[in-house]
Amino acid sequence: MPELPEVETTRRGIAPHVEGREIVEVVVRQPRLRLPVPDNLVDRLVGARIGRLERRAKYLLMPVAEGSVDSLALIWHLGMSGSLRIARLGELPRKHDHLDLVLDDGALLRYHDPRRFGFVDWLAGSREQDPRLARLGPEPLSEAFDGKRLYTLSRGRRLGVKPFLMDNAVVVGVGNIYAAEALFLAGIDPRRAAGRISRARYDRLAAAAKEVLAAAIRQGGTTLRDFVGGTGEPGYFKQRLNVYGRDGEPCRRCGAELRRVILGQRASVFCASCQH
């Protein structure tokens, strides 16, 4: 599924085309997404102007000014296979193009989602009030996320360090791909109990998570199946993956065969020689 770098790539890709634009038409082809498309979406969006796009974890936030009211915001989630891209007026929709926001310059913001696990909804008040955002941990590229936080929250925890790192209450947006890659860079076995890892090793893990996420964002995210960025261009970080999806292949660092285990109901690939 699209992870934080893919969502951030989408935000950066579509923002220059939609921010400040007026919505002149809304086309809903398929209202039955993970959450039903709100009944009042068309009425409230037509004539509204789009504000500055933001990202929180894997959610995209789109403020819209409706007449004199500027406190409304849409919240988008791309689910397992969703994407937002820019199209032009007259460009025929593809199968699974479920929703268009038609803008005043002839551009379209088009939502595509074969599995329909994503959604668009109204933000419930402020970020602090919306239950989808209220309990989220810090952004991984912010100063609030560091080894000290990981060390403090992990004390007494017996679960593996990989599912611990993927807990959105600990830090947001470090999904399966990037947790596996960060643990490899830090040299930590994903099976190790979170509470048995030292502060120094957590410092390395936090730095590794920041490194791998920043690199993925710079390179446009990770292409997996049907994800495309906001301009229709796929990401290409997959070419640089060290362990994710490479079970049975040689480690790029030492040549040992990479192993696959199940942790927290998710597959995890690691190098038993390099990661301890």
DSSP β-bridge partners for residue 267? 262
Q: Are 273 and 186 contacting, i.e. CB atoms less than 8 angstroms apart?
A: no
Q: Is 3 a catalytic residue?
A: yes
Please say if 95 is a catalytic residue.
Answer: no
Identify whether 2 is a catalytic site residue: yes
SS (H, E, C) the chain: CCCHHHHHHHHHHHHHHHCCCEEEEEEECCCECCCECCCCHHHHHCCCEECCCEEECCEEEEEEEECCEEEEEEEEECCCCCEEEEEECCCCCCCCEEEEEEECCCEEEEEECCCCCCEEEECCCCCCCCCCCCCCCCCCCCCCCCHHHHHHHHCCCCCEHHHHHCCCCCCCCCCHHHHHHHHHHHCCCCCCEHHHCCHHHHHHHHHHHHHHHHHHHHCCCCCCCCCCCCCCCCCCHHHHCCCCCCCCCECCCCCCECEEEEECCEEEEECCCCCC
Is 17 labelled a binding residue?
no
- Rounded Cα–Cα distance for residues 262 and 270 (Å): 11
> Out of 44, 56, 58, 201, which one is annotated catalytic?
58
Residue 128 designated active-site: no
> Was 157 annotated as part of a binding site?
yes
Active-site residue among 34, 238, 259, 266?
266
34 is in an annotated binding site: no
CB under 8 Å to 134, separation ≥6 — which residues? 127, 128
Residues making up the annotated binding site for DNA are 96, 115, 157
Indicate which residues carry an active-site annotation. 2-3, 58, 266
Residues making up the annotated binding site are 96, 115, 157
